[in-house]
Amino acid sequence: MLKTFPKGGVHPNENKFSTGKPIERIDLPKQVYIPVAQHIGAPAEPIVVKGDMVKTGQLIAKSSGFVSANIHSSVSGKVVKIDKVSDSTGYKQTCIIIDVEGDEWIETIDRSETINDKIDNLTGEQIRNKIAESGIVGSGGATFPTHVKLSIPLGKTCEYLIINAVECEPYLTSDHQLMLEKAEEILIGCKLAQKVVGAKKILIGIENNKPDAISNMKTMAQKYKDIEVHALKVKYPQGAEKQLIKALTNREVPSGKLPIEVNCVVQNIGTTFAIYEAIQKNKPLFERVVSVTGKSISRPTNIMARIGTPINMLIEAVGGLPQDTGKIINGGPMMGKALNTVEVPVTKGTSGIVIIPEKYSTRPKSYNCIRCARCISVCPMGLEPYLLKNMSIVKMYEEMHKERALDCMECGSCSYTCPASIPLLDYIRLGKANINKILRSQKS
């Protein structure tokens, strides 16, 4: 029996069209837009001004607090403007706009292809500082600064370092491809992260729809006694932190608590690759793998894109925007964000660009709730989405809070599954926002 989390979950069509497509590089854009807020936490502060010449990999905005992250230039050229530009969230954000001239990297980056597997010369503390310097944030989409996630609070210990290679979102294949091409580097990155948190064991969880990645990782991991690679049953949202921990260790992170409560730390597989590059190759995070894919895309593939590249360049590279496009999603179809323009830049959290044909881009018409209980049976958090929706409609926010609305991780399984096509998660989000507002006002 393959491991998985026990309660809830759905199985959407996988549609992984870009599976097995080698990671490609595309021509550099003429201009990049690098937002200073690509992570959860305080935006970074620009340290360059208009007219400055920068090199690829050069620090251009500095982390402005504990939960914040450095930003590096992804190209070489001239800073032409620091301005507010709308990013993938739809809001205007400060961006550093750079005109690309050549591609001159800072000298400290080791651009050779050789794999450097010596990890003994740095202490955990040094590794963590280097991770912070390199501006690494979670690559799965949540973009939490990695050095913060790797800091173990006083009095807690980390037993398992869990590596999330589940890639349970339909369409996306960037992690999959990375495991096929960069397995050795990833494993070295895992060992480095392990050194930081002091974990006894590393557990890598991969869904069973990637057999080639599983066998590749298993073979490569043979030389490490403390790395286990586990094949998991295909079920969304297995990549959710709490569900993944449950699947691999059978531990349940208590409501409102972090994984360290059950002695686990979770890292995304893409993040471990970034850690490898930062520590062993001195290369800060300024590019990442993005799956550019969709039903009518002529050449779905995985692209190594510089941060700040406008996504329309990526779309051009896979054959251009299809005629029937109705929706463009930054991320996967279950949790990604719909974009209102193709002018937004790739950021550290962009795992994929999914193009949805018009036919499938609007919601089906919704009916009355027929109380079929399907939303309850698919909710991995054990909530009652229909009830939360009803409470949200009549603004019973305190009752919603008692029904644990804040436990909802917004996986969308309930909305996905509802036969009456009720946008349950929309109502729940609204309720959560109001609960948070009430909680904040109670605090102050």
Query: Can residue 385 be called a binding residue for other proteins (CB under 8 A)?
Result: no
Strand partners, 345: 310
Considering just the CA atoms, what is the radius of gyration of the chain in Å? Answer: 21
Contact 120, 97 (CB under 8 A): no
Considering only 57-65, 189-197, 316-324, 431-439, which stretch makes contact with other proteins by CB under 8 A? 316-324
User: Does the protein bind ligand SF4 through residue 412 (CB under 6 A)?
Assistant: yes
For residue 132, which of 121, 141, 142, 124 has the smallest C-alpha distance? 124
x/- mask, ligand SF4, residues 342-381, rule CB under 6 A, reads ---------------------------xxxxxxx--xxxx
x/- track of binding to other proteins for residues 327-366 (CB under 8 A): xxx---xxxxxxxxxx-----------x-x-x-xxxxx--
DSSP secondary-structure letter at 136? -
The angle at the Cα of 95, spanning 93 to 98, to the nearest 5 degrees, equals: 165
Q: What stretches of 199-240 adopt beta strand conformation (E)?
A: 201-207, 227-232
Q: Does 33 bind other proteins (CB under 8 A)?
A: no
Tokens of residue 248, six digits: 């691999």
| Amino acid making up residue 96 | I
DSSP 8-state class, residue 43: P
Could you say whether residue 54 binds ligand SF4 (CB under 6 A)?
no
Out of 321, 396, 420, 430, the residue judged to bind ligand SF4 by CB under 6 A: 420
Strand order in the sheet with 201-207: 227-232, 201-207, 160-165, 264-268
Position 65 contacts other proteins (CB under 8 A): no
Report which residue type is found at 344: V
Q: How many residues interact with other proteins (rule CB under 8 A)?
A: 74
Q: Does the footprint of other proteins cover residue 402 (CB under 8 A)?
A: no
Q: By rule CB under 6 A, what string of x and - marks binding of each residue 377-406 to ligand SF4?
A: -xxxx-x-xx--------------------
Site for other proteins contains 370 (CB under 8 A): yes
- Establish if 379 lies at the interface with other proteins (CB under 8 A): yes
Which amino acid, 150? L
Evaluate whether 324 touches 356 at the Cβ level (below 8 Å).
no
- 385 contact, one of other proteins, ligand SF4, none, CB 5-8 Å limit per kind: ligand SF4
φ and ψ of 348, to 5 deg: -60, -20
Nearer to other proteins, 170 or 284 (CB): 170
Q: Which of 200, 257, 395, 437 binds other proteins (CB under 8 A)?
A: 257
Q: Should residue 318 be labelled a site residue for other proteins when binding is judged by CB under 8 A?
A: no
Which residues contribute to the site for ligand SF4 (CB under 6 A)? 369-375, 378-381, 383, 385-386, 408-414, 418-420, 422, 424-425, 428
